[in-house]
A = this chain, B = another copy of it.
């Protein structure tokens, strides 16, 4: 069972990587760009046929290990894509 975990910095948390990308784009003529933020996506398989079990596992691993709750938000997207 495949999942995607989207991890984003919370609103209000400074995002220097996004700012650097924004400046680089502006300096290269993309002058309509604004508010660039960078996040992370983790895709993974869970060896389980029971969707609720798998989702619970993924939620737990996000809270315990993958996500820094102080500065980051996450969402879990069940995915059938092969990416």
Contact = CB atoms under 8 A, between A and B. Distances in A.
Contact of A42 (B38, B54, B66): B38
Contacts of A38: 40-43
Which residue of A39, A64, A66 has the most chain B CB atoms within 10 A of its CB atom?
Answer: A39
A21 to B, nearest CB: 7
A77 to B, nearest CB: 11
A50 to B, nearest CB: 11
A17 B18 CA distance: 20
A47 B28 CA distance: 16
A49 to B, nearest CB: 11
Interface in A8-33: 8, 18, 21-22, 24-25, 28, 30, 32-33
